[in-house]
Amino acid sequence: MKISLCIPMYNEKSIIADTAKTLSDYMSVHFEDYEILFSNDGSRDGCDRIVSELGLPCVRVVGYPDNRGKGAAVRTAMLEATGDIVMFTDADLAYGCDVIKQLYDTFAANPDADMVIGSRNINKDGYEGYTFIRKLASKTYIRVLCIAGGFRLSDSQCGCKGFTKEAVRKIFPRCEVNGFAFDFEAILWATKYKMKIMEMPVKIINHRESKVHVFSDSFRMLRDLRKMKKRIKKAEI
């Protein structure tokens, strides 16, 4: 099976060359058929040019000139991908590289799975290195959102998710959310289509400060989630 790895990026000049080289080295060792798509969300720091000029094999840069949001960047890459398995993770490689092979192997071992989601809440070391307050805030935030969304998941917001190409073709053409709530939308559509969603344990190894502000963003997320649920519930499939 071919795997497509999608990396959304916005003003990641300081890390993107290392990320691209690290991923290229990892993928070439572990996969025979793969591609890496860096999706530029209207960056102003030239990080798209940096990736392109590296000339790495099986690496493409996609995107658009205006800043729209992480959801738009992920959606753009997912729809450009050609793999049998299509996944995304963050440019800072917060969960390391081994989650890529782990996710691929989860699909291989579960051919009826449509979507695989990383979860920091399955194993005790999922938040290793977090302060108590940051861990509590993150877990509470995720729990509230999962309850509000009606998801039977332990971690809807993990930045590591994978889909079969069939799931991508059904879900992402119908997605509209450009911001951080795009995760909810993808899960809601998967649920609408009665897809099989699995979780796998992941562990944070890169503790860069999150771009999501737990308290200020929670209210906007809940508002967006309510609107999405109404829209998708009414939609025909």
- Tens of each residue's pLDDT in the chain, 237 residues: 999 999 999 999 999 999 999 999 999 999 999 999 999 999 999 999 999 999 999 999 999 999 999 999 999 999 999 999 999 999 999 999 999 999 999 999 999 999 999 998 887 777 676 677 766 666 666 666 666 667 778 787 888 999 999 999 999 999 999 988 898 899 999 999 999 999 999 998 875 655 555 555 666 777 777 788 889 988 988
Q: Which fold has domain 3-234?
A: Spore Coat Polysaccharide Biosynthesis Protein SpsA; Chain A (3.90.550)
- Can you tell me the distance from the alpha carbon of 58 to that of 24, in angstroms, rounded to the nearest whole number? 8
Which residues fall within 8 angstroms of residue 30, CB to CB, at 6 or more apart?
A: 100, 101
Predicted TM-score (pTM) of this structure: 0.89
- Annotated domain spans of the chain: 3-234
- Can you tell me the distance from the alpha carbon of 182 to that of 193, in angstroms, rounded to the nearest whole number? 17
